Amino acid sequence: MNDSGKVVGPARGQYGLDLDKLLVIHDEIDLPFGEVRARLGGGLAGHNGLKSVAQGVGGTTFMRVRVGVGRPESSDPDVVASYVLDRFTEPKERVRSLIERAADCAEKALEGELETR
């Protein structure tokens, strides 16, 4: 994810996709585990993957589906990185439900049926 802008930018150009039609689904430590939200544009909140995409596509006004994974107790960058790269500790059923809700949210966002925030 941290280098995804290197491929997202050229792919956007190849398909002639307007920036506001681009959808990025990403983990979000600022949301509790299980919460899913969509928004158009916004800040990057230190998310290296979003920074890479923004750099690759030349802006931040793309759609995001933010998938809440919760926040570790420490704000140490190494602890945060380890937290988001590690396996979920929640039961498989909760993880499966989260993935399904994120997919539903993405589908609605792409169909223009979703209020974004």
Q: What is the residue-level pLDDT of the chain in tens, covering all 117 positions?
A: 788 999 999 999 999 999 989 999 999 999 999 999 999 998 988 888 999 999 999 999 999 999 999 999 998 989 998 999 999 999 999 999 999 999 999 999 988 876 655
- Give the pLDDT of residue 13: 92
**What is the structure's pLDDT at 114?**
62
How high is the pLDDT of residue 46?
82
Could you tell me how far CA 12 lies from the centroid of its own chain? 17
Please tell me the predicted confidence (pLDDT) of residue 2: 84
pTM: 0.88
Sketch the domain layout of the chain as residue ranges: 5-110
CATH topology of domain 5-110: Rossmann fold (3.40.50)
Give the Å distances, CA to CA, from 18 to 23, 61, 86, 104, 107.
11, 10, 34, 22, 18
User: CB under 8 Å to 53, separation ≥6 — which residues?
Assistant: 4, 5, 8, 9, 24, 62
Q: Would you state the pLDDT for residue 15? A: 94
Q: What is the CA radius of gyration of the chain?
A: 14
